[in-house]
Amino acid sequence: MRHPKNEIEDNLPSQDQTLSPLLDEDSGGNASGIVLKKGPWTSAEDEILIEYVKKHGEGNWNAVQKHSGLSRCGKSCRLRWANHLRPNLKKGAFTAEEEHLIIELHAKMGNKWARMAAHLPGRTDNEIKNYWNTRIKRRQRAGLPLYPPEVCLRTWQALQQTQDSGGSTIVDNDHHDLLRANSYDIPDVTFHSLKPQSALSYMPELPDISSCMLKRGLDSSQYCNFMQSALHRQKRFRDSASLFPGPDGSVKTPFHQFEDNSYSQAAQSFGTPFAVESNPTTKNAMSFGSFEGSHSLTNGNSSASQHSKETEKLELPSLQYPETDLTSWDTTIQPAMFESVDPFIQSTPTFVLQATDRQSPCHSGLLEALVYPKPMGPKNHPSDKNSNSCSVTPGDVTDSYNMAASKTEIDDYTEVISPFGHSTSSLFSECTPISATGSSYEDPTLTEAFSGSHVKSEPLDHAWTPDREKAAKSRVNFARPDALLTSDWHDRSSGIVEDTTNVTDAISLLLGDDLAADYEHFPNGISTTHSAWGLDSCSWNNMPAVCHMSDLP
DNA sequence: AAACCAATCAACCGCTAGCAC
DNA sequence: CGTGCTAGCGGTTGATTGGTT
């Protein structure tokens, strides 16, 4: 207890306590006219409650006051017992394992604190909730993504697995509904590849992911700016496509993978009307609040009718799954994270398969969201510009695009800026462990660098050891977008990624061709040089298991 | 030393699902 | 089926603490 004032009152609540302003006015009183106390509990009250529960057991909380004389409402008693008095409660800070588990669980469940608490023995929903809210604040300030990238990827992979297990790219209605309940209302989009063998119908469930990522990683203007800019680039590129005719006269541009209507559909798939209006001058004309009918920003708890105000609330929901999908995590998250033999490699690399084979823009969207986490929070002040290479604001991005109207011009940029104001190099390092010396994903120095101010960093809770480093090197780091595009892991994925232009196309679609062009500068798409991206450090991937997801009920 | 600010935590509030009647 | 009660959940508030200026 942190209320010494009350600790002094070591006995039953005094009269002036019960008459204090903390008195429960509305529940106040009860049938017997006893005024119920509110506010901090005293140790004396605790003892009474403990005694009561010993005698009568848990439950029937409203009877506590009746039987024990405790001037507390049943609700308050239940809460006090559940959060502080019941046995086997674990006190103290969360361990690294617990924190990691919370992150995983939250990625899957969202703000289902009670359900999360069920997976953390000795912890209460309140504790977890407080921890998470603190974490949100911290990471917002630091401009860090809420989830480690690999969590997003695993979630995405699990999602894909769920879809694929249905034998169709079209998600079953139930799942679809569940996802939609937490996503923007984004129409399914069918993309047609020019290549007959890869013609596909892509029904992106990604919106759930992307919307979540958006919700947590991008603010509306940034995202809209980016999408508008990207789509504008695509359109512009298409318009000038004759400049790059292919051998058969077709044009190998990312955009030409899509039919014209797909263009606007693609934009619509992001819940925006701006695809049709590709004029960049309208870039700020919309906000997330204009997503009519969308209720996803509210964590899926609000009806579609509650829209405007609530959608503006800062809500950082999850890559939510129906809990029935826990099984899908068994084969994806748990082994990849916790076991030395990485089943990510053993299993079907769903993520890459879909991302590449289908040249899915939505994959790029996920990748995009993963690698372009928006520096959230109010501390995007000008000083940030000086902190590191994150030197362009979202608004500047569009400008940078305009300035970089040609590939040649782009080549002059030594540091290509992501649509969200990150350099292409920094954006990766922002998402991934950076230093070979063991700096974690939550490296405080990074935190400071990104935020431009000193903030409390996330705990360096993932101790790095040489053994872990070795183990990490033996596997693909899925936290790293580049890892998805490189390594012999590709070869295991049925050679699907042999044509890296496909990947580039997908990325190009999202990033815009100029950024993708920069992307192409890297061997195999993105640098495979471990040191360049800090692949040596992989703390998140080496978290020991608290429990396997397969053990979860 | 004082003022200020952010972080943390305990507790409350409103809402809802489940259940019994 | 409707009503009332209870337990539980998630969001929010407010007190306290600790760090910084």
Among A99-108, A159-168, A243-252, the least confident range: A243-252
Residues 6+ apart with CB under 8 A from A196: none
Q: How far apart are CA A429 and CA A433, in angstroms?
A: 6
A303 touches strand B (CB under 7 A): no
Nearest to A71 by CA among A42, A101, A100, A114: A42
Q: How far apart are CA A158 and CA A537, in angstroms?
A: 24
By percentage, how much of chain A surpasses pLDDT 90? Answer: 0
Chain A window 132-151, residues with Cβ within 7 A of nucleic strand B: 134, 137-138, 141
pLDDT, tens digit, 9 for 90 and up, residues A153-170? 776 777 677 666 653 333
Residues A430, A434, A439, CA angle at the centre, nearest 5°? 115
Burial A19-34 (b: 16+ CB within 10 A, else e): eeeebbeeeeebeeee
* Chain B: bases < 7 Å from a protein Cβ: 6-14
Nearest to A424 by CA among A451, A397, A399: A397
* pLDDT given for residue A527 in this prediction: 33
* Chain C: bases < 7 Å from a protein Cβ: 5-12, 15-17, 21
* pLDDT given for residue A33 in this prediction: 59
pLDDT, tens digit, 9 for 90 and up, residues A495-516? 333 343 443 343 333 333 333 3
* pLDDT given for residue A369 in this prediction: 36
Please tell me which of A94-98, A264-268, A468-472 the model is most confident about, judged by mean pLDDT: A94-98
* Distance of C1' in C5 from CA in A135, Å: 37
Mean pLDDT of A40-61: 84
Q: Counting Cβ atoms within 10 Å, is residue A419 exposed (0-12), middle (13-18) or buried (19+)?
A: buried
Instruction: Return the CATH architecture of domain A4-81.
Output: Orthogonal Bundle (1.10)
Mean pLDDT of A53-69: 82
A465 touches strand B (CB under 7 A): no
Residues 6+ apart with CB under 8 A from A268: A186, A187, A189, A275
**CA distances to A44, A380, A386, A458, A478 from A142, in Å:** 42, 10, 15, 9, 23
* Distance of C1' in B12 from CA in A7, Å: 20
Q: Nearest nt (C1') to A116 (CA)?
A: C9
Residues with CB under 7 A from strand C: A 2-5, 58-62, 74-75, 78, 82, 111-115, 125-126, 129-130, 133, 299, 301, 313, 315, 454
Residue ranges covered by each domain of chain A: 4-81, 149-316+327-551
Residue with tokens 């360049």: A532
Q: Nearest nt (C1') to A2 (CA)?
A: C16
pLDDT, tens digit, 9 for 90 and up, residues A376-388? 333 333 333 333 3
pLDDT category of residue A278 using cuts at 50, 70 and 90: very low
